[in-house]
Amino acid sequence: MDTNTSLQALMKGPLPPLYFCIGNPVVGNPTQHMMEKAFEQLGYPGRYLTIEVDPDELEPSIWGLLAMHFQGGNVTAPFKQDVLSYLDELTESASLCDAVNCITRKDDGTYIGDNTDGKGFLQSLVEIAPDLERRKVVVFGSGGAASAIVTELALHGVREVVVVNRTLTRAKTLVDNLAGISRTTLSWEPWEGIYQIKEHDLVVVQATSVGLFQPDDCIKVAFTPDLHNVIACDVVFNPVETTFLKKAKLAGCQTLDGLGMLVNQGAIAVKQWTGKEPDRALMRLSLEEAFAVC
């Protein structure tokens, strides 16, 4: 938004719509930069603030944001589940995976919570796997990101999803919670030693936190050489090319990095808030710009 538009809004109203990102810690979270670039390109007068909330003060913080008519915002760790109880409504995705990362104020003044992590991931994947419905997908992890992804894969109706997690009970709970929501066959497998990725036509998703800010770290997997038609995805976005993706590439897999998911979940939020489709390439560039500062 140019200075004149901003000044007009300040002096003549309506005041700029406000958005938030709450979490703890939030230093190092690049969402504000990405959102501001998207708003600016759309000529939308929204303002976006990153706010570190003390876990003991979540309740008054949320009531404050809602009372001040913030138009929406993003929620990051560790509050994605805690915010549920303050919202008037949940989308199907948020309700199924029991976590909210995106809040929108509706025209009637009520607040709806959505989970756009899985949707953002799915958008990235469908672009390179138009035949996703007939595929088997193996997801490593059972935390917030994995749960959002498995939920969206099931809602999309992929043929089969297998959840593999270090703590088996979490994988079982994730699968049990989604049982019967679609025709997708859901199951879990224990993760004992090195998990060998050896099937052709698979989609494998690294949805654990391993590798985040640790370029040399990788989950305990091995790829059989010369895999045919396998897509390997990582939710970790920094570094963009993780060791997991490097290993997958060496085995002949097509790869999908976590930055696309981050951009897409942000773009879905902007569309919900403004009604307009933001420039995703610009949003990706803004993230790369932010990470270059680290």
User: Can you name the residues that pair with 113 across neighbouring β-strands?
Assistant: 90, 103
Alpha helices in the chain (DSSP H): 3-12, 31-42, 58-67, 92-97, 117-128, 144-156, 168-178, 243-250, 258-274, 280-293
Collapsing DSSP to helix, strand or coil, 179 comes out as coil
CA–CA dist 22, 4 (Å, integer): 29
Residues 184-213 that bind ligand NDP (CB under 6 A): 208-210, 212
> Catalytic: 136?
no
77 near ligand NDP (CB under 6 A):
yes
Q: Which of 129, 139, 261, 267 binds ligand NDP (CB under 6 A)?
A: 261
Among 262, 267, 269, 270, binds ligand NDP (CB under 6 A): 262
Closest CB 10 distance from ligand NDP, rounded Å? 33
49 binds ligand NDP (CB under 6 A): no
CB of 262 to ligand NDP, least distance (A): 4
> Which residues on neighbouring strands pair with residue 234, listed in sequence order?
206
Q: Which is nearer to ligand NDP, 144 or 278 (CB)?
A: 144
Task: Report cis status (omega within 30 of 0) of the bond before 14.
Answer: yes
Residues 121-180 that bind ligand NDP (CB under 6 A): 141-146, 165-167, 170
235 lines the binding site for ligand NDP (CB under 6 A):
yes
Q: How many residues bind ligand NDP (CB under 6 A)?
A: 25
Coil, helix or strand at residue 239: coil
Q: Which is nearer to ligand NDP, 117 or 152 (CB)?
A: 117
Minimum distance, C-beta of residue 236 to ligand NDP, in the bound complex (Å): 5
Residue 112 or 145 with smaller CB distance to ligand NDP: 145
Query: Which H or E run contains 52?
Result: strand 47-52
Which residues, in sequence order, are CB contacts of 161 under 8 Å at separation 6+? 136, 137, 138, 139, 150, 153, 154, 184, 185, 186, 187
State the Cα torsion 81-62-87-178 to the nearest 10°: -10
Of positions 258, 270, 283, 284, contacts ligand NDP by CB under 6 A: 258
**CB closest to ligand NDP, residue no:** 143
Cβ proximity to ligand NDP: between 71 and 165 the closer is 165
Closer Cβ to ligand NDP, 41 or 76, answer by number:
76
Question: Are the C-beta atoms of residues 148 and 115 closer than 8 Å to each other?
Answer: yes
Q: By CB under 6 A, name the binding residues for ligand NDP.
A: 77, 117, 120, 141-146, 165-167, 170, 208-210, 212, 219, 235-237, 258, 261-262, 265
Enzyme catalytic residues: 80
